[in-house]
Amino acid sequence: MPASQETAAVIGGGIVGVCCALYLQRAGYSVTLVDPEAPGNSTAKWSCGQMAVSEIIPLSKPGILMKVPGWLMDQKGPLALRPSALPGILPWFFRFLMCARRSKIVEIAQAMATLTHDVYADFAPLLDACEDKTLMGERPILEVFDSPAGIAHEQPHLDLRTSLGFKSQRLNAKEIGDLEPALAGRFAHGLLFPDWRAVSDTEGFIAALTESFVSQGGRRVRTEVARIDESNGRATGVTLANGERVQAGSVVVAAGVGSRRFFDALGVSVPLEGIAGYQAVLPNPGVEFRHSIIYADGGFCFTPMTRGLQIGGTIEFAGRDAKPNFKRADIILEKAKRVLPELRTDAVEYGVGYRPFLPDTKPIIDRSRRLQNVFMAFGHGQLGLTLGATTGRLIADMVAGRPVKQNLTPFSAYRFS
């Protein structure tokens, strides 16, 4: 690389981090990407793999407070709250409940829509540079319900999505069966999301983008960042766990839940929590799916991937440093077997990803006020895979001093102050 080339270090090699690294690379920067895990082994690996472009409604919804006792008492539900986690998560939960007002939900959805409308355009150049041209599927996503009451309950949110330019289509029993023969005769009420897509392998998707980054001259270091180095109010690079110093003119923190370790250096106080999402992979499921399917009343998804049928989506407020409870994944499989009794579960792999959630379910895409050349890209919740490329493009524009397309005020790290 030319000695005069601008340098950048990205902390975190998950989907958001690698997309930030790729877009910085496209902007002409010499980039070092640092992550302790193998490429692809990140939170997004254990996701449903969906490009959920209209999933802009926050988790907090009207009446959410009344559901909290149920989350505490029913540990088999699609959303559970461990009693031991309650004391530590109460401040976060209070902020979360404050986002349940209708006006706040509309405000959040409007802000999120400004990001998700650009998902495919932002991923396009990154995927074009990858050798595998089938990383992202072309088929839409289906959502099925046990009764019409489920769709009626979601109708206000569907209307809000429609008003913001997203599409959905009602499906009857025949249409569901035609699209997805595995579900023929099992569901009579559903929705089709024609503007959603799914990836064929969440781990392979991130690994392929990482390989593209390295093949274009990027450096990926498999270790942890011990600290952000600074001098005179600016970052000078990062020091790695082995003592190596990586000099950088700009630093991006995109380490998901792990970003908390750098909050003092960033000069921010952010209510970031890791919410556990459990998945089970069946390498030989005995059932063939054509689409990624959301089972609304069950609270989980069926997603066909190259490594098998991935079933998951249930989430748990477990508290910081809590050990995974893989019984949650067993619960998913029990429910899946009730829908598909022929499902083979004799071979199964379990996984958990800790989604980095903020109380308003919006990510942080911002610049540190304490260290002006350090940038923040974390807190994407369940939309890390969806918003990876868009976040990368925005971060690269900020680092390079170019005008950004979106208004980033709603995604400020200082909105909780």
Quote the CA–CA distance of 5 and 138 in Å, as a whole number: 38
Residue 379: which residues within 8 A CB-CB, separation 6 or more?
A: 259, 270, 272, 356, 357, 358, 362, 363, 364
Burial of 325 (0-12, 13-18, 19+ CB in 10 A): middle
Write down the H helix ranges in 216-371.
263-266, 327-339
pTM here is 0.95
Lowest mean pLDDT among 136-145, 223-232, 308-317: 308-317
User: Region 55-81: what's the mean pLDDT?
Assistant: 74
pLDDT in tens, 298-346: 889 999 999 999 999 778 888 888 888 888 888 889 989 999 999 999 8
Report which residue type is found at 194: P
pLDDT of the residue at 71? 63
pLDDT of the residue at 211? 98
Residue 15: which residues within 8 A CB-CB, separation 6 or more?
A: 42, 44, 205, 206, 209, 384, 385, 388
pLDDT of the residue at 331? 86
More reliable by pLDDT, 38 or 85: 38
**Per-residue pLDDT for 65 more than 70?**
no
pLDDT in tens, 24-40: 999 999 999 999 999 99
More reliable by pLDDT, 25 or 296: 25
Quote the CA–CA distance of 238 and 230 in Å, as a whole number: 8
If pLDDT is split at 50, 70 and 90, which confidence band does 64 have?
Answer: low
pLDDT of the residue at 110? 98
Quote the CA–CA distance of 380 and 289 in Å, as a whole number: 28
**Per-residue pLDDT for 68 more than 80?**
no
Q: Give the sign of the dihedral formed by CA 213, CA 385, CA 273, CA 408.
A: positive
pLDDT in tens, 274-293: 999 999 999 999 999 999 99
| pLDDT above 70: percentage of residues in the chain | 95
**Per-residue pLDDT for 2 more than 60?**
no
Contact 305, 349 (CB under 8 A): no
More reliable by pLDDT, 172 or 81: 172
pLDDT of the residue at 85? 84
Domain ranges of the chain: 7-44+204-269+361-411, 59-106+136-197+272-357
User: Region 55-83: what's the mean pLDDT?
Assistant: 75
Chain-centroid distance of CA 386 in Å reads 6
| Other beta carbons less than 10 A from residue 353's beta carbon | 26
Quote the CA–CA distance of 69 and 199 in Å, as a whole number: 36
pLDDT of the residue at 73? 65
**Of 366, 373, 374, nearest in space to 413 by CA:** 366
Q: Which CATH code is given to the segment(s) 7-44+204-269+361-411?
A: 3.50.50.60
**Per-residue pLDDT for 1 more than 60?**
no
User: Region 102-121: what's the mean pLDDT?
Assistant: 97
Q: Which CATH superfamily is domain 59-106+136-197+272-357 in?
A: D-Amino Acid Oxidase, subunit A, domain 2 (3.30.9.10)
Contact 188, 173 (CB under 8 A): yes
pLDDT of the residue at 3? 43
User: Region 403-414: what's the mean pLDDT?
Assistant: 97
Quote the CA–CA distance of 304 and 324 in Å, as a whole number: 24
H/E run at residue 275: strand 273-282
The average confidence (pLDDT) of the chain is 93
